Amino acid sequence: MADPFKARAPFAPWDRRQLPGLFDVEESARRIGHYKWAEMKLFEALGGWVATVPELDVKMRLGTHCYHHAWHAELWHKRLPELREMNPDRLTVPPNDAMVRFVEALTEPEAPELTIEKLVGVYRVFIPHFIAAYTFHKNNTSEITDAPTIRSLTFALQDEIADFIDGEMLIQSLIETPDEVQRAAAHQARLETLLLEAGGIAGPGTIGGAS
């Protein structure tokens, strides 16, 4: 249980305003490198599942969404040299080993009858964490010095939110029994625990707090 007496910032996690901006060039580049890595992993997962999921409507949505994440990775790949150096691949890394374990658990369900687990991992865990990370970054970076990053975050957020809605609709259409409710909840809890250990997509401090 959260400590109700622990001091918290005056603004909500998605609105931690500081001027001229919370991130210096190095911190922004570090985060964007983690974003690119995560987007690439999600693209690979969705692309792989397109060939194996039996439900045609799910297959079609995954095929559309996987290219959204490929495009997001490309946005971050192009942004990195402008921020830090001419070798974006050096910064395209997970924030820690816990994030690697999370992605391994996310992609673990491979059997055709595990579509619910596949979708829950992506649309109830991974994509909501993208939305949180991107929203925090967008609201806390400088509109003056980091406008290109804000523009990329805005584009990515539009896709993430739309895809989240699609995914949640698919999940609700697939869950038809109490047992399936429990399957979805158990898988979500397992993945959320792993992502909590990682500290979020960009590691500890993804939406503030520890850095």
Domain edges within the chain: 25-198
Query: Is domain 25-198 in CATH 1.20.1260.10, yes or no?
Result: yes
The larger pLDDT score, comparing residue 110 to residue 82, is at 110
Determine the pLDDT at residue 17: 54
The model's confidence at residue 211, banded by pLDDT at 50, 70 and 90, is very low
For 7, phi then psi, to 5°, come to -65, 135
The encoded tokens of residue 70 equal 């490929």
For 107, phi then psi, to 5°, come to -90, 0
User: How much of the chain exceeds pLDDT 70, in percent?
Assistant: 91
Spatial separation of the C-alpha atoms in residues 167 and 58, rounded to whole Å:
9
The larger pLDDT score, comparing residue 5 to residue 16, is at 5
Residue indicated by tokens 């924030």: 95
The model's confidence at residue 1, banded by pLDDT at 50, 70 and 90, is low
Note the pLDDT tens digit of each residue in 31-58: 999 999 999 999 999 999 999 999 999 9
Note the pLDDT tens digit of each residue in 123-147: 999 999 999 999 999 999 988 888 8
pTM for this prediction: 0.88
